[in-house]
Amino acid sequence: MNRHPQKSQHQQQRPVKSVGMLPGTVAASLVMCLCQGQAGAWQAAVDTSAGSTSTAPSEVAAVFQKDEVDLAMDRAIAWLQLKQREDGAILDRSHDTTMTALAIMSMASVGVQPGSSTPAGQSMQRALTFVLKDDRVDANGYFGDRDGSRMYGHGIITLMLTEMLGMGVSEEQDTLIHDRCQKAIEVILSSQKTRKPVQARGGWRYTPAAADADLSVSVWQLMALRSAKNDGLNVPASAISDAVEYLKRSYASPLDRNGLPEKKASGFCYEPNRSNPTFTMTAAGLLAMQVCGEYDSPLTIGAADWLLEHPPQWKERFSSYGTYYYAQGMYQRGGEHAETARQLVQEMLLPKQAADGSWLAENGEERNHGAVYCTAMAILSLSVKYHFLPIYQK
């Protein structure tokens, strides 16, 4: 299948789990198994190694031995497929386009591809087709009106489409994804340019014409812009830099004349010029700063250190949302931060998975969004070990 000409190199060469020095045919089979999510499919890779003197079946089996996270992901992806409607949408409550987009991203995060012939791949393709229907978006390219998700949903859907660009099952679908992406990005760019008070400049709020901003909405738009820029779409560098400046104003610790925070460890706040950092906003700000290349910023370092002292809690407000950002942001930071986050996220989420493979939050705000939302966010949090999605790669 020909890739869309706008597809960037980093997405054409998605990383896979390390398969060491296995022979090419065995490695390819293992990669196929991983990407298609076939339970027990490692045996096929063992079979392809017949006649090879350099790799024993036991060695191949050891490489592909599933751990508890792999098994949890299998159950979760299977559960999401059960929640798919005949029209392709995946949801159990409201905001059908946005929830379907989150489900698609969660599938992609464990290596499922829409062109695959597996049940998960076919489900993903039907879901993508639903999001691309003409009645899901308005004439301006705005997704947030049709399903009532506002700019939150628009950012999520746009991010998903930019991550899927070039992954369509046909040239026609890739072209449609590209066109939807560019118009959706134009909505985000236009919204950012809306006249706002100084403290809100560079950010976004609930509607495209909003004259204020908050970090929660802004991070989704920023992630979409960064992913689109990676794809080669038209995203001015000033849009990213203006958003980074907004992030800096949302940092809790005051900055001196050199832009250095007064407190070594601090976090991000829901709105600028506040001094009450939260777990969720600090995790979101940490990931956003790094996605924008601010890896060595003292704000990035301070936020990561602050999160070591304020770990995720299952029952706290917006736990699913915050844990998603936390897992990805701390992974980007690496070292002690990444290892601590990996362990804490697994210890928190794995015991909370229901027997049917789903998750449902205990805090009221997220519980009201339903199990599809919580399950998708849990998958995105735990799948950091695979790093398939380009936007979350180091």
Give tens-digit pLDDT for 322-343: 999 999 999 999 999 999 999 9
Decide if pLDDT at 28 tops 80: no
Q: Rounded distance, CA 111 to CA 54, Å?
A: 27
Which tokens go with 36?
Answer: 């298609």
Q: Which of 364, 374, 281 is nearest to 320 (CA)?
A: 374
CATH of 71-392 given 3.40.50.2300, 3.40.50.11610, 1.50.10.20, 3.30.420.40: 1.50.10.20
Distances (CA, A) of 338 to 33, 308, 327: 26, 10, 8
Domain spans of the chain, in order of start: 19-65, 71-392
Q: Indicate the average pLDDT of the chain.
A: 86
Give the mean model confidence (pLDDT) for residues 252-275. 92
For the beta carbon of residue 198, count every other beta carbon within 10 angstroms.
Answer: 9
**pLDDT for residue 33:** 44
CA distance 83 to 110: 18
Helices 215-231, 171-192: crossing angle, 10 deg rounding: 140
Distance (Å, whole) CA 234 – CA 363:
39
Q: How far is CA 319 from CA 6, 279, 309, in A?
A: 36, 9, 16
Assigned token pair, 290: 């790094």
- Answer whether residue 40 shows pLDDT above 90: no
| The pLDDT of residue 280 is above 70 | yes
Residue 3 has pLDDT above 50, yes or no: no
pTM of the model: 0.86
The C-alpha atoms of residue 299 and residue 268 are separated, in whole angstroms, by 9
| DSSP assignment letter at 2 | P
Give the mean pLDDT of 178-192. 98
**What are the phi and psi torsion angles at 349 (to 5°)?**
-85, -40
According to DSSP, the residues that pair with 251 across neighbouring strands are 268
- Per DSSP, the residues of 361-389 read -SSHHHHTT-HHHHHHHHHHHHGGGT--S
pLDDT band, residue 390 (cuts 50/70/90): confident
Listed residue (292, 288, 149) closest to 229, CA to CA? 292
Q: Identify the band that residue 223 occupies on the pLDDT scale cut at 50, 70 and 90.
A: very high
Return the amino acid letter for 72. A
Which has the minimum average pLDDT: 27-41, 256-270, 291-305, 358-372? 27-41
CA atoms within 13 A on the CB side of 290: 24
